[in-house]
Chain A
Amino acid sequence: MTVLPQEATDIRQDWASFLKASTAFTHTKKKQRTSGVSGEPVAATLTSSTGATSTDDRGASTSATRQSATHDYLFKLPDFSGVDLKSIDVVLISNYNHILALPYLTEYTDFQGRIFATEPTIEFGRQLMTEFVSFFGTSVSSSPHDAIDRKQLLAKAGTGLYPAYTLADVKACIDKVQAVRFREHVALYGSLKLTAHSAGYCLGSSNWLVQIGTENIAYVSSSSMQVNLHPDHFDGSLLEHASTVIVADLCPKGSITYDSGVNDVCSNIAATIARKGHVLIPCTISGFLFDLMEDIHLHLSRMGLNHQVQYSFVSPVAETALQYSNILAEWMAPRKQEMVYLPEAPLLHGILLEKGPAKNYKSVHGEFSSDLKHPCIVFGGHPSLRSGPMVNLLHMWGNKAKNSIIFIEPRYDVPASLGPYEGLEITQNACPLDIRLSVDQLVEVMKKYRHSKQVLVPARATNSIHTDGSAELADAKLTTSSSSIRWTAFKYGKAVQLGMGSLYESVLLSEELAKGIYPQSFGTTSIAPVAGSLSIYNNQMQLEPASVAGRQFLALYTQRQLCGVMNLQNLLLGLSQIGVENPVVTEHRQQSKDSDDKIETPEVKIEFEIEGQAAAFIVRDQETVVKCDENLRPLLRETILKCFQSLLSKVGASLHPWFNLVTLKCLEIPFSGQI
């Protein structure tokens, strides 16, 4: 699709829809976070979080469907209803937690835009989707009939519940995503530039800098400033020049810190292992789990328990996820990068897998039980406990109090997950580990990158919202007022208007055209008239000399301007120079004839005769009217212009006769195609 620039410039109103969409999806926390930006540069940020859906939705749906023999799981989708999906040009995926609903968007709607994500996001996203299908998919067979039916279902159901997509959908969807790397510049549609910056949240997690013309908008998704994690550090440089910052995913207030959470997890595990119990940790095999593994292993070693423990990763994608994560050194923190120069696997599980204490399994059937010799720590399954290996394991081990189950994923409601398992004796611990930015951290970051800007935060992160739209942050001790930062809250389904300031597009001025430009300076400012043909290609606008035909056309639109104050004396002098004798000068104080609706202004009328023809000047405050016969026109025009030209610099005149640059006060700017 070729995007016409007129669309490209129509930014302001589109941003409303952008924001509207963005708020809509952040707040509902559905499945996927996508932020779209488009050639009419804009679009939608569809946000959602992990798993299948927000937990209560799924609780309801799955328990409802449980009775039916087919095990048809239904999911609530992100609410696409507020957005015209067809008009979205770009979708940005920040990390693999926000990709799970993407197949619904690409395969079941008329969405046609482009999708960008980092390589690890794509790969882990694919794995998560595969896992999702194997846990919740209806059946392995995905006949074309099936697909058609579900498409119709989607079309009809509005924002209802949907069955899981199929593996074929996953493949088709992933194929549509274009891989980018951190700080790779993606230029689109001539005026849009996208750059991914490291978010520090997980491997390949990104925040996005969207540049439209000369305006910069930073989209900050799940980010982390937690030290000593394996992903590449949070890269705040995108905030440096951003005039608007949209913060989409913050750690809820009152969360326990990651470090203390990890301590809890480790001590719980150690206690369970010490009493020869098994530990179940329902989680996806990705993200901070890789760091947690190291912490757990270290803790168990210190406790002397590491020889009698076995780590099991149970998931259809466990092997791929574990292997793949270890070849992503480029996406890791410098500390981890150093490891590959040794060369050594940067993440500990690589070594554990090689040496034996850790194993991965596709499911709990087969090898898993035969390998089981020691107390076992099982990672995997789905945190909702509705499907996957955790279901079997809970049946197997759930009745013994010496075993324990630890919930570490922050985005799930633990009681709801455990709902169907009431009465199990297994020890239950909830230590949600949340590494996302807290409001305090956000304020700190913003302070560091001081630059007058507007920051949009989710409404739930704020205390109160003022009538002017500015907001007070919830947790922060030292907020707003003092700094130049303006905090604004966005809410579900509500459009936010962004003040984009004056917009400029970056354009290149060709050398050929530049050679014909002769600027005239006025104090510190120089100005010069320019006319040319603006071509848009290679994602770059370039102003070049216009063609002959173009110049003719331009001439029709040429606007000359005169600046300054008409000096009557000069005018009379000028007249005498062209041979006018005894002009009749009369002063009127009446309504002018030509501008009927104007208020009364003093005017001077000069009537005279030249070359036998009568002519008149009417001089008013900011206006001069010339009345004459056509053949006198050039002569009188020159006379008038001379009044403005009296101090014309010689250089300017000799260089460019058409450029009637005048005194410091007076200026005429024609825009002929004189190039």
Chain B
Amino acid sequence: MVRLLTKAPSADSEFYKMVVFAQAYSIKLTTLLHMWFFLTCYTTCGYHTIDERRFPDFSYISKTGDFTEMLDCVIISHFHLDHCGALPFFTEMCGYDGNIYMTHPTKAICPILLEDYRKISVDRKGERNFFTSQNIKDCMKKVIAVNLHQTIHVDDELEICAYYAGHVLGAAMFYIRVGEESLVYTGDYNMTPDRHLGSAWIDKVRPDVLITESTYATTIRDSKRSRERDFLKKVHDCVADGGNVIIPVFALGRAQELCILIETYWERMDLKVPIYFSAGLTEKANHFYRLFINWTNEKIKSTFVHRNMFDFKHIKSWDRSYIDNPGPMVVFATPGMLHSGTSLELFKKWAPNPKNMVIMPGYCVAGTVGSKVLAGEKKIQIDAFTSVEVNLQVKNLSFSAHADAKGIMQLIRQCEAKNVVLVHGEKSSMGFLKSRIMSEFGIPCFDPANGTTVSIETSHVIPIEMSASLLKQHLIRQTESTDPVNEGMTSASSPEESSDDSSESFKPKTPSTVRPKDKVLIQGVLVMDDGKPIRLEDADEALEKIGMAKHKVRFEVRKAYNATALRLAVEEADHYQSLDTQGASNDGDVKMDQPPAEDFYKDWDADAFALDLVYVALQRAIGGHIAISRENEGGAIVVRSVKIRAPTDKDDFEKGGILVGWDYQDEDLATRILSIVTLALTTSR
């Protein structure tokens, strides 16, 4: 428990909420006292075409329906209906009135798709209790458009920032930060650039939690180029054979890439087979792409002035009457999962003929016609009255711009996530990816089922402000006290601790390894004042702040030692030394040497000798870390306020020892020094 935080006793539970309501996922972050993230993650169906649960179950967020109170903001990652389909319902019919954020292109394109969705649902399927056109307009008015990388302060604590996701035009990943805790919600993203979009990119934001989609959790797709060749060959073969090709797509996004692809191929091969695009949206969509060219990739951006990639020569818009036209054709038809509209109509018509072909470019929600086609069913029940024989060729082309397993791993590496939560994928493949992430990165990974709660403990850090002068003071000290070789914190006696911490522990003394210090040892006093930021100050400053008078205590201690023993030891040492040297010369030399030595011992000053010994010992033990100086007169050793000297007549002490004096503030240093002194004077060898 972080006690520091209890300084404001009333704040026993700081409670931040935030729902990322994008797609089917609502992520509720609750930061509690201990600053853990409680992450509720449920995968209800944002937009489910066949389920009667059209909209997500918002009661997960609030039982009372007071969503505005409960949520800080709603973020829409991109314009696909499974990510924003329920937005007007939520704002206009459930009464959410808070901030809604999305990127500019999403804000532009979203209402068109919503309107389209509304039309299909209400006009064709006769749904009731659906939002109206006016609802969509009102809802979009509340939307706040954001730019990439722009940091938006939702309130005092919550800030969000969008990053390019590449999935469709305007798709974004969101970095969300509350205090020092952060989260990245990816929405859908794509890590490989395609023909009109760049790849997703994020700063090294080091989020505590990364919530990533995992649609293609296990797929590592083969190279882009070969997939494209594959796609084009299949289409070409089919039309050459006189068959019709139906490509179910979303009106925006993937469709544009496929169009660019087919357009260039047709141009190169000089094909005349007509290509149609079913949605009336095309023209408008292309106009959007032109205005938001900044959101496409670099290549399109750099050439747009001269040639707009979205002016297609070969692709014409679809008319229902063409359905009976003879001869081969290629039709891009919406929607992408064959659940309604033109694509279903065409599919019903063309399915029985084995010459025809359907190319399923994306992922299909379970239960849709598309998913049944993908599953290889030969007879598909479309509704209560209709069923279709499926004879046409079915090609599953994984063209959808989701990140594959490799891409997901790449993103985790890029943002250096501390925890990963996988959503939007199939259980089994998520499990596979999960274990891979855990083993490769060594970070916790979760794949919560719908409606379950995940608790993730984050390491909590506390932001404080440190006095710059304090930092400077420590830095200067640590640079001064060290040798050219940069090892301020290295204790000479601790080579064995090198495993502890690379920069703090022992480093080999090769001059070539000099590098800037990235760690500085700091000590100071935390000053906590209500309502002000916590500050780390110099002790003196801090004490001044709380208005306390300092009291100085000085110790003057006599350090007794056995001078005789010391002298004997030295003499003995000298003796052995002379014996050693003697070995190299003859006996006569020894006698020549002896007399001056005797003289020396006569007025031998024990204290001065002891000081010398102590000085050497101190230099050896702590000299690398702290400045040790000697006074010229009397040879006193000074280390900060610690002074080691021989007693003088002024002192009241009895003779027979050296004096050690220090201020109480250097008590710890003095203790250390005293122990070194003791050691030096007792075992003088």
Bound Cα distance from A229 to B305, whole angstroms? 24
Q: Mark B538-562, 1 if CB is under 8 A from A, else 0.
A: 0110110110111111111111100
Task: Give chain A residues whose Cβ lies under 8 Å from the Cβ of B161.
Answer: 184
Task: Give chain B residues whose Cβ lies under 8 Å from the Cβ of A515.
Answer: 1-3
Residue B287 CB within 8 A of the other chain: yes
B494 touches A549 (CB 8 A): yes
Residue B472 CB within 8 A of the other chain: yes
Among the stretches B324-332, B352-360, B441-449, B525-533, the one at the interface with A is B525-533
Residue A609 CB within 8 A of the other chain: no
Task: Give chain A residues whose Cβ lies under 8 Å from the Cβ of B4.
Answer: 509, 514, 517, 519, 528
Bound Cα distance from A455 to B534, whole angstroms? 28
Residue A175 CB within 8 A of the other chain: no
Contact A525 B527, CB 8 Å, known A533-B522, A633-B555, A669-B539 = yes
Minimal beta-carbon separation of B76 from chain A (angstroms): 15
Residue A506 CB within 8 A of the other chain: yes
* Number of interchain pairs (Cβ within 8 Å): 362
Task: Give chain A residues whose Cβ lies under 8 Å from the Cβ of B493.
Answer: 552
* Of listed A5, A323, A510, A622, residue having the most chain B CB within 10 A: A5
Task: Give chain A residues whose Cβ lies under 8 Å from the Cβ of B540.
Answer: 561
Contact of B546 among A185, A522, A543 (CB under 8 A): A522
Minimal beta-carbon separation of A148 from chain B (angstroms): 30
Interface residue count for A (Cβ, 8 Å)? 110
Specify the chain A residue showing the minimal Cβ separation from B520.
A534
A559 touches B666 (CB 8 A): yes
Task: Give chain A residues whose Cβ lies under 8 Å from the Cβ of B550.
Answer: 561-563, 622
B463 touches A506 (CB 8 A): yes
Contact of A517 among B3, B488, B518 (CB under 8 A): B3
* Contact residues of B: prevailing secondary structure: mixed
Minimal beta-carbon separation of B546 from chain A (angstroms): 5
Residue A9 CB within 8 A of the other chain: yes
Task: Give chain B residues whose Cβ lies under 8 Å from the Cβ of A550.
Answer: 489, 501, 504, 519, 521
Task: Give chain A residues whose Cβ lies under 8 Å from the Cβ of B501.
Answer: 533, 547, 549-550
Task: Give chain B residues whose Cβ lies under 8 Å from the Cβ of A510.
Answer: 459, 461
Contact of B625 among A324, A556, A633 (CB under 8 A): A556
CB within 8 Å of A: which B649-672 residues: 650, 652-653, 657, 660, 664-669, 672
A565 touches B551 (CB 8 A): yes
Residue B104 CB within 8 A of the other chain: yes
Task: Give chain B residues whose Cβ lies under 8 Å from the Cβ of A543.
Answer: 464, 466, 522, 536
Task: Give chain B residues whose Cβ lies under 8 Å from the Cβ of A180.
Answer: 149
Task: Give chain A residues whose Cβ lies under 8 Å from the Cβ of B497.
Answer: 547-549
Residue A176 CB within 8 A of the other chain: no
B554 touches A593 (CB 8 A): no
Specify the chain B residue showing the minimal Cβ separation from A7.
B475
Bound Cα distance from A167 to B2, whole angstroms? 59
Minimal beta-carbon separation of B506 from chain A (angstroms): 7
Task: Give chain B residues whose Cβ lies under 8 Å from the Cβ of A532.
Answer: 521-523
* Of listed B284, B488, B666, residue having the most chain A CB within 10 A: B666
Specify the chain B residue showing the minimal Cβ separation from A526.
B528
Residue B674 CB within 8 A of the other chain: yes
CB within 8 Å of B: which A524-555 residues: 524-538, 541-543, 546-550, 552-555
Residue B616 CB within 8 A of the other chain: no
Bound Cα distance from A324 to B14, whole angstroms? 47
Contact A671 B147, CB 8 Å, known A323-B305, A525-B527, A593-B650 = no
B472 touches A623 (CB 8 A): no
CB within 8 Å of B: which A563-597 residues: 563-566, 593-594
Task: Give chain B residues whose Cβ lies under 8 Å from the Cβ of A533.
Answer: 489, 501, 504, 519-522
Task: Give chain B residues whose Cβ lies under 8 Å from the Cβ of A5.
Answer: 471, 475, 520
Residue B365 CB within 8 A of the other chain: no
B475 touches A9 (CB 8 A): yes
Residue A624 CB within 8 A of the other chain: yes
A547 touches B291 (CB 8 A): no
A505 touches B522 (CB 8 A): no
Contact A183 B468, CB 8 Å, known A534-B522, A564-B549, A622-B552 = no
Bound Cα distance from A628 to B662, whole angstroms? 12
Minimal beta-carbon separation of A189 from chain B (angstroms): 11
Residue A170 CB within 8 A of the other chain: no
B669 touches A630 (CB 8 A): no
Task: Give chain A residues whose Cβ lies under 8 Å from the Cβ of B462.
Answer: 508-509, 511, 514
A627 touches B556 (CB 8 A): yes
A507 touches B466 (CB 8 A): yes
Minimal beta-carbon separation of A470 from chain B (angstroms): 27
Minimal beta-carbon separation of B120 from chain A (angstroms): 22
A525 touches B529 (CB 8 A): yes
Residue A642 CB within 8 A of the other chain: no
Task: Give chain B residues whose Cβ lies under 8 Å from the Cβ of A525.
Answer: 527-529, 545-546
Residue B476 CB within 8 A of the other chain: yes
Task: Give chain A residues whose Cβ lies under 8 Å from the Cβ of B529.
Answer: 524-526
A555 touches B151 (CB 8 A): no
B530 touches A524 (CB 8 A): yes
Q: Mark B219-255, 1 if CB is under 8 A from A, else 0.
A: 0000000000000000000000000000000000000
Contact A670 B549, CB 8 Å, known A547-B505, A563-B543, A629-B558 = no
CB within 8 Å of B: which A166-180 residues: 180
Residue B524 CB within 8 A of the other chain: yes
Residue B323 CB within 8 A of the other chain: no
B7 touches A330 (CB 8 A): no
Residue B53 CB within 8 A of the other chain: no
Bound Cα distance from A636 to B637, whole angstroms? 24
Residue A181 CB within 8 A of the other chain: yes
B151 touches A616 (CB 8 A): no
Residue B579 CB within 8 A of the other chain: no
Specify the chain A residue showing the minimal Cβ separation from B529.
A525
Residue A425 CB within 8 A of the other chain: no
Q: Mark B458-484, 1 if CB is under 8 A from A, else 0.
A: 011111111111011011110100000
B504 touches A340 (CB 8 A): no
CB within 8 Å of A: which B285-335 residues: 287-288, 290-294, 304-305
Residue B574 CB within 8 A of the other chain: no
Bound Cα distance from A181 to B305, whole angstroms? 22
Contact of B519 among A323, A345, A535, A552 (CB under 8 A): A535
Task: Give chain B residues whose Cβ lies under 8 Å from the Cβ of A328.
Answer: 294
B292 touches A340 (CB 8 A): yes
A337 touches B520 (CB 8 A): no
Residue B180 CB within 8 A of the other chain: yes
Residue A480 CB within 8 A of the other chain: no
B2 touches A556 (CB 8 A): no
Residue B107 CB within 8 A of the other chain: yes
B554 touches A594 (CB 8 A): yes
Contact of A181 among B111, B147, B475, B558 (CB under 8 A): B147
Contact A323 B494, CB 8 Å, known A5-B520, A503-B469, A534-B471 = no
A628 touches B554 (CB 8 A): no
Bound Cα distance from A27 to B491, whole angstroms? 54
Residue B378 CB within 8 A of the other chain: no
Specify the chain A residue showing the minimal Cβ separation from B478.
A553
Top 7 nearest A-B pairs (CB, nearest first) are A504-B465, A531-B523, A671-B523, A563-B548, A503-B468, A558-B668, A184-B149
Further contacts, 17 of them, CB under 8 A, given A509-B461, A624-B551: A5-B520, A195-B151, A323-B305, A343-B108, A529-B525, A530-B523, A530-B524, A532-B521, A533-B504, A533-B521, A543-B522, A549-B491, A549-B494, A549-B497, A552-B494, A556-B672, A558-B669
Where the two chains meet, the residues of A that have a C-beta atom closer than 8 Å to any C-beta of B are 2, 4-6, 9-11, 119, 180-185, 195, 213-214, 319-320, 323-324, 326-330, 337, 340-341, 343, 345-346, 502-511, 514-515, 517-519, 522-538, 541-543, 546-550, 552-566, 593-594, 616, 622-630, 633, 637, 640, 644, 665-667, 669-672
Report 24 cross-chain contacts, Cβ distance below 8 Å, ordered by A residue. A9-B472, A213-B465, A327-B304, A343-B284, A514-B460, A525-B529, A530-B536, A533-B504, A536-B520, A541-B466, A547-B505, A548-B497, A558-B667, A560-B664, A561-B665, A562-B664, A563-B551, A622-B549, A626-B557, A627-B556, A628-B556, A633-B555, A665-B548, A671-B523
